[in-house]
């Protein structure tokens, strides 16, 4: 009978589902999800952490904060979450998945242009109209929300050719010289200083972006997660963040 | 013979993994349907944002299909009738976009048509034309990714079609164009239709190459899949509603084709 075969298949499926649980004796991996703009700084901090914790490896997952928050709220196995906006962190706290989120850094926006500044961009005012092709983040993601806030504060407007899903996409388009200008965080400009030129925005400090870090409630290694957060908020992590261009929280 | 009975007679080592495979493929789709906001579906789907994305998706995917038909059928004919194009390397080249990660396809398109790309540089410096971030770029990205479906389907049909009809027509004095139009095309017509529909479906779902090569701007380059991704950041239920629409369209296409793709038409 077909029904019998289906029952056997269902049992096999359950057996498969059960074999993925950790046995506890293997090497421990700490899963850290962090906003794209933290790529360089958190990679260095993770190296420090692994040096201090033999046998522990840190798995870093960088993406747009909203996508990371979405993953955590959907039950992804994440121990530490660091977002580039307090709003995004709020969606995780509201879902009951964040343990004590705390600010650890700030970032400000800047204009990046391809090396040599071919379009002659000198400030935000040059980014309106169709002469200068500009890439910015979509307003739905933190860097885009910060861009919108900055434009509102300065009264300037930008005519973008693309609203990208994360800040690294904007930067990549400037590095590839496919756009004349992009609005990114100063930390992104600092990390690619050899490939792009920076045109600072004097008013950028009026709309800083807060970075928050938290342990995820379902973390399988809460003590390690807290250790990692202590490293980020402590002198070592803060020095790494300052070197990358982040401001104090 | 009763089909269910035939399935039941399969040994367990075929039946069990087979059923697991069905569950593996069906569960994500069921999950999506289960989370869909059915109550507010109509309102979500008729919002200005969604309609703009839907319109853009329809026009670009149809344009990409037209490009694929106009270029792909001659290519399929060359692959089966010409020694130079019949080699394995052409087949590999045609198959490549099928297995290439779409994002890589987008980067490759930038390397070709971006303003620092092989052809794009000539266009930009000679004529001031920039293709990325335009609707044309969306059509190019979709055609690049979707054309293989048409070419491979039509090529398969040409290979299995009976060449004696063409030879008979030629013997009776028909010119080459007449033979192609009156004999070859009608013979492979159903496969062209199947290949074109499949190509259109793939173009409709294109995401990675489009985002990388064309960018994402409402009304110009933000097609349905890109709108789904953008919506995921603010409104999960809207993203799921859009996904369900794309899913339903795909299912309708596949059911309509009844397996006539990639193998050509079986008679």
> Looking at the structure, do residues A171 and A201 belong to the same domain, yes or no?
yes
Q: Tell me the average pLDDT across A204-229.
A: 91
- ipTM for the predicted complex: 0.75
pLDDT above 60 for A22: no
> Looking at the structure, do residues B26 and B101 belong to the same domain, yes or no?
no
pLDDT digits (tens, 9 = 90+) for A105-149: 999 999 999 999 999 999 898 998 778 999 999 988 888 989 999
Residue A5 at interface with chain B, using a CB cutoff of 8 Å = yes
Contact A2 B114 (CB under 8 A): no
Residue A24 is predicted with a pLDDT of: 44
pLDDT above 70 for B172: yes
Contact A1 B230 (CB under 8 A): no
> Looking at the structure, do residues B90 and B194 belong to the same domain, yes or no?
yes
Where in the sequence is the domain holding B160, given as residue range(s)? 40-257
> Looking at the structure, do residues A98 and A218 belong to the same domain, yes or no?
yes
Q: Tell me the average pLDDT across A179-205.
A: 90
Of A5, A64, A135, the CB nearest to B15: A5
Closest chain B CA to residue A169: B212
> Looking at the structure, do residues A158 and A45 belong to the same domain, yes or no?
no
Torsion of CA B225, B226, B231, B232, to 10 degrees: 80
pLDDT digits (tens, 9 = 90+) for B121-156: 899 888 988 899 999 999 999 999 999 999 999 999
What 3-state DSSP class applies to A24?
coil
Within a domain: residue B265? Answer: no
- Could you give the percent of chain B with pLDDT greater than 90? 40
> Looking at the structure, do residues A36 and A93 belong to the same domain, yes or no?
yes
Beta bridge partners of A199: A111
- Could you give the percent of chain A with pLDDT greater than 90? 61
Residue A16 at interface with chain B, using a CB cutoff of 8 Å = yes
Closest chain B CA to residue A172: B212
CB A87 within 8 A of CB A145: yes
CA distance B62 to B204: 9
In chain B, residues 187-206 whose CB comes closer than 8 Å to chain A: none
In chain B, residues 138-167 whose CB comes closer than 8 Å to chain A: none
Contact A67 B233 (CB under 8 A): yes
Q: In what order do the strands lie in the sheet with A181-185?
A: A160-164, A134-137, A181-185, A109-114, A196-199
Kindly report the nearest CA distance between residue A99 and chain B, in angstroms: 22
Within a domain: residue A1? Answer: no
Contact B233 A13 (CB under 8 A): no
Question: Residue B226: pLDDT band by 50, 70, 90 thresholds?
Answer: very high
Question: Residue A65: pLDDT band by 50, 70, 90 thresholds?
Answer: confident
Closest CA to A133 of B220, B54, B227, B103: B220
Residue A138 is predicted with a pLDDT of: 92
Residue with tokens 């790529």: A39
CATH code, domain with A179: 3.40.190.10
Q: How many domains does chain B have?
A: 2
CATH code, domain with B241: 1.10.3720.10
> Looking at the structure, do residues B164 and B249 belong to the same domain, yes or no?
yes
Q: Tell me the average pLDDT across B61-79.
A: 94
Contact B4 A2 (CB under 8 A): yes
Of B8, B116, B211, the CB nearest to A176: B116
> Looking at the structure, do residues A63 and A182 belong to the same domain, yes or no?
no
> Looking at the structure, do residues B245 and B119 belong to the same domain, yes or no?
yes
Residue A44 is predicted with a pLDDT of: 95
> Looking at the structure, do residues B29 and B44 belong to the same domain, yes or no?
no
**Which chain B residues have a beta carbon less than 8 Å from that of A138?**
216, 230, 233
Among the ranges given (A9-13, A27-31, B31-35), the one the predictor scored with the smallest mean pLDDT: A9-13
**Which chain B residues have a beta carbon less than 8 Å from that of A6?**
19
Contact B133 A138 (CB under 8 A): no
Q: Tell me the average pLDDT across A86-115.
A: 93
Residue A2 at interface with chain B, using a CB cutoff of 8 Å = yes
Within a domain: residue B262? Answer: no
pLDDT digits (tens, 9 = 90+) for B94-107: 999 988 999 899 99
Contact B221 A162 (CB under 8 A): yes
**Bigger pLDDT: A204 vs B72:** B72
What 3-state DSSP class applies to A161?
strand
Round the average pLDDT of chain B to a whole number and report it: 86
Residue A15 at interface with chain B, using a CB cutoff of 8 Å = no
Contact A138 B116 (CB under 8 A): no
Within a domain: residue B235? Answer: yes
Contact A70 B211 (CB under 8 A): no
> Looking at the structure, do residues A48 and A160 belong to the same domain, yes or no?
no
Of A8, A66, A163, the CB nearest to B216: A163
Of A6, A161, A177, the CB nearest to B215: A161
CA distance B122 to B118: 7
Contact A133 B133 (CB under 8 A): yes
Residue B84 is predicted with a pLDDT of: 78
**Which chain B residues have a beta carbon less than 8 Å from that of A179?**
133
Between helix B135-160 and helix B185-204 the angle, nearest 10°, is 140
Residue B145 is predicted with a pLDDT of: 95
Q: How many domains does chain A have?
A: 2
> Looking at the structure, do residues B143 and B198 belong to the same domain, yes or no?
yes
Within a domain: residue A17? Answer: no
- For residue B124, count other CB atoms closer than 10 A to its CB: 17
- Which of A73, A162, A195 should one mutate to test binding to chain B, selecting the residue with the greatest count of B CBs within 10 A? A162
Question: Residue B2: pLDDT band by 50, 70, 90 thresholds?
Answer: low
pLDDT above 70 for A214: yes
pLDDT digits (tens, 9 = 90+) for B237-252: 888 888 888 888 778 8
Where in the sequence is the domain holding A115, given as residue range(s)? 109-206
CB B200 within 8 A of CB B261: no
> Looking at the structure, do residues A66 and A181 belong to the same domain, yes or no?
no
> Looking at the structure, do residues A119 and A151 belong to the same domain, yes or no?
yes
> Looking at the structure, do residues B5 and B110 belong to the same domain, yes or no?
no
> Looking at the structure, do residues A98 and A216 belong to the same domain, yes or no?
yes
Of B16, B110, B222, the CB nearest to A12: B16
> Looking at the structure, do residues B164 and B95 belong to the same domain, yes or no?
yes
> Looking at the structure, do residues A114 and A164 belong to the same domain, yes or no?
yes
Question: Residue A13: pLDDT band by 50, 70, 90 thresholds?
Answer: very low
Within a domain: residue A20? Answer: no
Among the ranges given (A17-21, A180-184, A216-220, B255-259), the one the predictor scored with the smallest mean pLDDT: A17-21
Round the average pLDDT of chain A to a whole number and report it: 87
Kindly report the nearest CA distance between residue B133 and chain A, in angstroms: 6
Q: What are phi and psi of B92, to 5 degrees?
A: -65, -45
> Looking at the structure, do residues A189 and A232 belong to the same domain, yes or no?
no
Within a domain: residue B266? Answer: no
pLDDT above 50 for A18: no
Contact B115 A138 (CB under 8 A): no
> Looking at the structure, do residues A214 and A101 belong to the same domain, yes or no?
yes
């Amino acid at each position: 009978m077909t029904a019998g075969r289906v029952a056997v298949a269902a049992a096999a499926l359950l057996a498969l589902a059960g074999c993925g649980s950790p046995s506890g004796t293997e090497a421990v991996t700490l899963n850290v999800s962090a906003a794209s703009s933290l790529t360089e700084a958190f990679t260095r901090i993770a190296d420090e952490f692994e040096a201090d914790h033999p046998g522990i490896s840190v798995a870093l997952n960088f993406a747009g904060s909203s996508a990371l928050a979405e993953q955590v709220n959907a039950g992804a196995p994440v121990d530490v979450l660091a977002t580039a906006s307090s709003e995004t962190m709020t969606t995780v706290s509201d879902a009951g998945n964040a343990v004590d989120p705390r600010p650890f850094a700030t970032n400000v926006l800047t204009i990046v242009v391809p090396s040599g500044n071919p379009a002659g961009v000198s400030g935000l005012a040059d980014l309106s109209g169709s002469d200068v092709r500009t890439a910015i983040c979509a307003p739905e993601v933190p860097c885009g929300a910060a861009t919108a806030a900055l434009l509102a504060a300065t009264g300037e407007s930008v005519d973008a050719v693309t609203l990208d899903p994360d800040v690294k996409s904007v930067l990549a388009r400037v590095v590839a010289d496919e756009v004349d200008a992009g609005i990114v965080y100063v930390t992104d400009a600092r990390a690619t200083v050899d490939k792009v030129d920076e045109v600072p925005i004097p008013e950028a400090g009026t709309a800083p972006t807060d970075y928050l870090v938290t342990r995820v409630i379902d973390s399988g290694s809460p003590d390690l997660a807290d250790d990692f957060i202590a490293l980020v908020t402590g002198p070592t992590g803060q020095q790494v963040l300052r070197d990358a261009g982040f401001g104090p929280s | 013979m009763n089909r269910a009975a035939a399935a039941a007679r399969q040994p367990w080592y075929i039946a069990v993994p087979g059923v697991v495979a069905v569950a593996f493929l069906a569960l994500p789709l069921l999950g999506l349907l289960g989370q869909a906001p059915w109550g507010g579906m109509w309102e979500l789907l008729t919002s200005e944002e969604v309609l703009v994305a839907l319109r853009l998706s329809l026009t670009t995917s149809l344009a990409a299909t037209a490009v694929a038909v106009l270029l792909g059928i001659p290519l399929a004919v060359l692959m089966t009738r010409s020694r130079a194009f019949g080699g394995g390397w052409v087949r590999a080249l045609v198959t490549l976009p099928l297995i290439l990660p779409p994002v890589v396809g987008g980067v490759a398109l930038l390397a070709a048509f971006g303003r620092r790309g092989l052809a794009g540089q000539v266009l930009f410096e000679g004529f001031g034309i920039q293709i990325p971030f335009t609707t044309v770029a969306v059509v190019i990205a979709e055609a690049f990714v979707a054309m293989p479906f048409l070419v491979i389907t039509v090529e398969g049909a040409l290979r299995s079609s009976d060449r004696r009809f063409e030879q008979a027509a030629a013997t009776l004095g028909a010119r080459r164009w007449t033979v192609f139009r009156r004999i070859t095309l009608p013979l492979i017509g159903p496969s062209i239709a199947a290949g074109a529909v499949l190509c259109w479906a793939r173009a409709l779902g294109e995401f990675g190459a489009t985002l990388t090569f064309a960018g994402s701007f409402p009304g110009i380059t933000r097609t349905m899949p890109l709108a789904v991704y953008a919506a995921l950041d603010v409104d999960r239920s809207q993203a799921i509603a859009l996904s369900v629409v794309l899913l339903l369209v795909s299912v309708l296409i596949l059911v309509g084709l009844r397996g006539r793709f990639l193998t050509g038409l079986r008679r």
